[in-house]
Chain A
Amino acid sequence: MLARRVGTAVVVLWVAATATYLALLAAPGSTVDTIIGDGADSPEIRAQIAREWDLDRSPLVQYAAYLGRLVRGDLGRSYLLQRPVSEVLGAQLGSTVQLAVAAATLGVLLSVVLALVTTGRGAWARRVSGTVELAFVSTPGFLVGMVLLNVFSFRWGLFPVAGDRGIAALVLPAVTLALPIAGLLTQVLREGLERALDEPFAVTARARGLRERAVVARHALRHALLPVVTLAGWVFGGLLGGAVIVEQVFGRPGLGQIAVTAVTSQDLPVVLAVVMLSAAVFVAVSTLADTLYAVVDPRLRTAVAA
Chain B
Amino acid sequence: MSTPLIAVEDLRVDFGAAEVVRGIDLTVHPGECVAVVGESGSGKSVTARSLVGLAGPRSRVRAAKFEVDGRDASRFAERDWRRIRGAFAGLVLQDALGSLDPLRRVGDEIGEVLGTHRIGDRRDRAARIRGLLDDVHVPEPERRARQYPHELSGGLRQRALIASAVAGGPRLLIADEPTTALDVTVQAQILRLLDEKRAAGAALLLISHDLSVVARLADRILVLKDGVVVEQGTPGEVLGDPRDAYTRRLIAAVPSAATRGLRLSVDAQPVPAHTPDPATPVITAAGLSKRYGQHEVVRDVSFTIGRGETLGLVGESGSGKSTVAAILFGTVAPDAGTVTFAGRDWAGVRERDRRPDRRGLQFIAQDPLASFDPRYTVERIVAEAVPPGEPVRERVRELLDRVGLPSSVRDRRPVTLSGGQRQRVAIARALAPRPALVICDEPVSALDVSVQAQVLDLLADLRAADGTALLFISHDLGVVHHLADRVLVLHEGAVVEQGPVHDVFTAPRHAYTKELLAAVPSWAKAPALEEVPS
B-binding residues in A (CB < 8 A): 120, 199-201, 203-211, 214, 218-219, 222-223, 296-299, 302
Contact = CB atoms under 8 A, between A and B. Distances in A.
Nearest to B82: A209
25 contacts: A120-B57, A200-B94, A200-B95, A201-B98, A203-B91, A204-B99, A204-B109, A204-B161, A205-B112, A206-B54, A207-B90, A208-B113, A208-B168, A209-B85, A209-B86, A209-B116, A210-B82, A218-B104, A218-B112, A219-B101, A219-B103, A298-B151, A299-B148, A299-B150, A302-B148
B310 interface: no
Given A200-B95, A204-B161, A299-B148, A209 B103 contact: no
Contacts of A201: 98-102
Contacts of B439: none
A209 B94 CA distance: 19
Contacts of A207: 52, 54, 85-86, 89-91, 165
A298 B148 CA distance: 7
Nearest to A297: B103
A296 B103 contact: yes
B117 to A, nearest CB: 6
Contacts of B148: 298-299, 302
Given A200-B95, A299-B150, A209 B168 contact: yes
B320 to A, nearest CB: 19
Contacts of A211: 82
A199 B52 CA distance: 17
B190 interface: no
Q: Is the interface of A mostly helix, strand, loop or mixed?
A: helix
Interface string B160-188: 01001100100000000000000000000
Contacts of B52: 207
A120 B90 CA distance: 25
Given A218-B112, A298-B148, A302-B150, A204 B164 contact: yes
B73 interface: no
Interface string B79-94: 0001111110111011
A236 to B, nearest CB: 24
Given A207-B54, A209-B116, A210-B116, A200 B99 contact: yes
Contact of A299 (B86, B100, B102, B112): B102
Contact of A209 (B57, B83, B101): B83
Contacts of A205: 101, 112
Most chain B CB within a 10 A radius of its CB, from A208, A210, A211 = A208
Nearest to B54: A206
Contact of A203 (B54, B83, B104): B54
Nearest to A120: B57
Contacts of B109: 204
Given A199-B98, A201-B98, 9 more contacts: A201-B102, A203-B49, A205-B101, A209-B117, A209-B168, A210-B82, A211-B82, A297-B103, A302-B148
Q: Is the interface of B mostly helix, strand, loop or mixed?
A: mixed
A204 B89 CA distance: 12
A200 B93 contact: yes
B150 A208 contact: no
Contact of A219 (B84, B94, B104, B150): B104
A204 B82 contact: no
Nearest to A219: B101
B116 A223 contact: no
Contacts of B94: 200
B103 A222 contact: yes
A208 B98 contact: no
A298 B146 CA distance: 12
B104 A208 contact: no
A99 B241 CA distance: 78
For the complex of A and B, list the 6 residue pairs with the smallest distance between their C-beta atoms, beginning with the closest.
A207-B91, A209-B86, A208-B86, A209-B85, A298-B148, A201-B101
Contacts of A223: 103
Nearest to B90: A207
Interface string B139-169: 0000000001011000000000100110010
Nearest to B81: A209
A200 B113 CA distance: 16
Nearest to B117: A209
B113 A209 contact: yes
Contacts of A210: 82, 112, 116
B95 A209 contact: no
A298 B150 contact: yes
Contacts of A299: 102, 148, 150
B40 to A, nearest CB: 16
A188 B121 CA distance: 39
Nearest to A223: B103
A28 B11 CA distance: 81
A302 B83 CA distance: 37
Contacts of A199: 98
B77 to A, nearest CB: 13
B262 to A, nearest CB: 37
Contacts of B86: 207-209
Given A208-B116, A208-B168, A209-B87, A203 B93 contact: yes
Contacts of B91: 203-204, 207
B8 to A, nearest CB: 18
B170 to A, nearest CB: 10
A227 B10 CA distance: 45
Contacts of A214: 116
Most chain B CB within a 10 A radius of its CB, from A210, A214, A223, A297 = A210
Interface string B27-57: 0000000000000000000000100101001
Contacts of B117: 209
A209 B109 CA distance: 12
Contacts of A209: 82-87, 113, 116-117, 168
B395 to A, nearest CB: 42
A129 B79 CA distance: 29
Most chain A CB within a 10 A radius of its CB, from B57, B83, B91, B101 = B101
A206 B85 contact: yes
B109 to A, nearest CB: 8
A226 to B, nearest CB: 8
Contacts of B168: 208-209
Nearest to A197: B57
